[in-house]
Every structure is written in C-alpha cells, then in structure tokens.
C-alpha cells in the first residue's frame, strides 16, 4: 500500500509542528513510475497533489497515460492544463533533479524518510515514524 496512509496521518497529527518535503524517485524498472510522478506534480499545480497521490496508490498498477488523464478528470482538474503540465519541461526537470539528488544521497529504496537527518528506509508503520518524530521534537524543544 505504500507510505501514503502513515504520512497522511502524520500530517494531520503534527499539523503546524513539522514540515514535509517530498522528492520524487520514480523507479526506473517500473513502467509507469515517471508518468505517475509527473501526474502528481501536474495535479499539485491545481491544488490536488494529495488527492492524485492517494488515487495513484489506490489504483496502482493502472498508471498508464490514459488512466492518469482519467484520474485528473475524476478529480475535477482542468484536463488540458493537466496534460500540458505533465508533458512540460518544468515537471520533467523537477523529477530529474530529484533523481540526481537520490543518486547523490545514495538512495535506492522508496519510501525513504529523513527525520531531522535520521534516515528511515522502507515503508514503516505510523507508530514507528511517530516515535522518531516525537524524539526529534523533544530533542529540538519544539
């Protein structure tokens, strides 16, 4: 199922206390990974990142282009704008930049979390992640 449910719950539990930064690392051996990352960012441009993210997890592995456009329509996005963004250089450059960062950081697994520099590799349960977050918040006095 991926890290989506735990991350969603963490965002709600720690609203205003933590900052979540997401980087894309589409696995090169998964046929539609790059397109799915592009779809998430194209949806983000219309304020629907998390909605698209959740739909992609729910509907995986059906992530071909036609399905992505269908999901955009289902979410009420401007489909023409979505397609232009998905195909545009801006999103492609952003994903490639994230990929370069992953290589530089020697990352090979998704999800990988960094919680105040503490590396957590792989899908972990909510309780596991919150234990680390609580330790870091306590350590930093927040």
Does any domain span residue 135?
no
Instruction: Note down the domain range covering 86.
Output: 28-97
Does any domain span residue 75?
yes
Give the DSSP letter of residue 122.
S
Does any domain span residue 79?
yes
Does any domain span residue 40?
yes
pTM of the full structure: 0.84
Does any domain span residue 15?
no
- Rounded Cα distance, 77 and 40, in Å: 12
**Exposure class string for 121-131: b at 16+ Cβ within 10 A, else e:** eebbeeeebbe
Q: What percent of the chain has pLDDT over 90?
A: 73
Domain count, the chain: 1
| pLDDT tens digits along 113-122 | 999 999 999 8
For every residue of 60-98, DSSP letters joined together read TT--SHHHHHHHHHHTT--HHHHHHHHHSHHHHHHHHHH
**What are the residue ranges in the chain where pLDDT is below 70?**
1-3, 28-30
Does any domain span residue 133?
no
- State the pairing for strand pair 112-115/118-121: antiparallel
Does any domain span residue 8?
no
């Amino acid at each position: 199922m991926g890290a989506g449910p735990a991350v969603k719950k963490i965002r709600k539990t720690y609203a205003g206390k933590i900052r979540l930064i997401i980087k894309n690392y589409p696995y090169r051996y998964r046929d539609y990974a790059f397109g799915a990352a592009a779809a998430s960012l194209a949806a983000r441009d219309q304020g629907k990142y998390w909605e698209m993210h959740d739909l992609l997890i729910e509907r995986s592995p059906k992530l071909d282009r036609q399905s992505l456009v269908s999901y955009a329509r289902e979410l009420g996005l401007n489909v023409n704008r979505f397609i232009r963004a998905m195909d545009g250089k801006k999103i492609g450059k952003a994903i490639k930049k994230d990929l370069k960062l992953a290589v530089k950081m020697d990352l090979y697994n998704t999800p990988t979390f960094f919680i105040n520099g503490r590396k957590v590799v792989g899908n972990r349960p909510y309780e596991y992640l919150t234990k680390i977050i609580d330790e870091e918040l306590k350590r930093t006095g927040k």
